[in-house]
Amino acid sequence: MMVLLKHRRYMTALLSSTTILLLLYFQNYLLVLTYGSSGFISKKVLCACSICVTDRENSIWFSERYDPNIPLLLNSTNSVLRANVSRWWKELQIVPNAGNYTEVVDQLFPLFPDKEHYSDAGPDRCRTCAVVGNSGNLLGSNYGPLIDFHNFVMRINKGPTEGYEKDVGSKTTHRIVYPESAMDLDNSTHLVLFPFKILDMQWLISAFTTKNITQTYTEVPSTIKANKDKVMILHPEFIRYVYDNWAEGHGLYPSTGFLTLIFALHICDEVNVFGFGATSDGIWHHYFEKILTSYENSIHAGQFENETINRLQQENKILMHKGWT
């Protein structure tokens, strides 16, 4: 009887000290049932990182803005635009002789990958991402090795790595561009086009085929070196979603950096942000040039975007690395 009693106590102690009692696997998450003083408690495990950015249960502010069902990247099956999105997007950057959107999309996907990208989220994945802006606060930061340690390193526009490796790293998995900011890429880097007009998509096609588009609202390269099998195109509906949900209608449309950061929230499990904001003395300039820049202009609501980025850090959705802190 004493042996049996001891055995019962041992089993009770084992039960109360065991955190995970039942694991239920679903398509994109793991349901963990834990046992505590108040009984069984269930919690979704969305990724293998210690904190998952897509966890909407720990921030009401975040959950009110984040839409996991928004289309991220364009393909032939999700390309039809809702009327209000189509009207808004086509008026962002008006240029003469704009093409027909449907006809342009029909030309895109025989040429570039036509698939659903980044649908692999789940409890076994911990994808770490570095979103690297172009702020002068990167200079002297020695962030290079830390940036390169991430699974994905997203760079914006023409921010160079050569000569700045110590501070900005050398790895690039995704280069965010539009025609006016395009540059040559190596064969392993994804070219991610952020299209602000139909002509941007036409330019992309032309850059890999006829090379006959050299002008938008300014001169653009007729062609670029890039791997066409790694080309991706941001969905116009995603741009509108960021404008509505995250920029809350401020400015005419979101900046490329802000779009990139919100894009990262949707394809990554952990997001670290580098090269955003001013230098320690409050100056806004790119790390690769001395020309002063401004985060507030007639197109983008830089101040509101900056406040939103700071709020994302407060809500533990991103970690900002400012170089001087």
Count CB atoms within 10 A of the CB of residue 237.
22
Which run of H or E residues covers position 12?
helix 2-17
Please say if 300 is a catalytic residue: yes
Q: Which of 150, 235, 285, 300 is labelled catalytic?
A: 300
Please say if 25 is a catalytic residue: no
Tell me if residue 62 falls in helix, strand or coil: helix
- CA 155, CA 147: separation in Å to the nearest integer? 11
Q: Among candidates 58, 63, 113, which has minimal Cα distance to 231?
A: 113
Q: Which of 178, 253, 266, 285 is labelled catalytic?
A: 253
- CA 158, CA 289: separation in Å to the nearest integer? 11
Pairing state between β 20-25 and 319-321:
unpaired
Q: Among candidates 175, 180, 171, 235, which has minimal Cα distance to 207?
A: 180
What residues are designated binding site?
Answer: 93, 134, 157, 217, 253, 257, 277, 286, 300
- CA 248, CA 233: separation in Å to the nearest integer? 23
What residues are designated binding site for substrate?
Answer: 93, 134, 157, 217, 253, 257, 277, 286, 300
Please, are residues 112 and 233 in contact by the beta-carbon 8 Å criterion? yes
The residues near 72 (Cβ < 8 Å, ≥ 6 apart) are: 117, 118, 234, 235, 238, 263, 266, 267
How close are the terminal C-alpha atoms of the chain, in Å? 64
SS (H, E, C) 182-227: CCCCCCCCEEEECCCCHHHHHHHHHHHCCCCCCECCCECCCCCCCC
Q: Among candidates 35, 57, 59, 63, which has minimal Cα distance to 44?
A: 57
Strand order through the sheet with 20-25:
20-25, 30-36, 39-45
- Return the active site residues: 253, 300
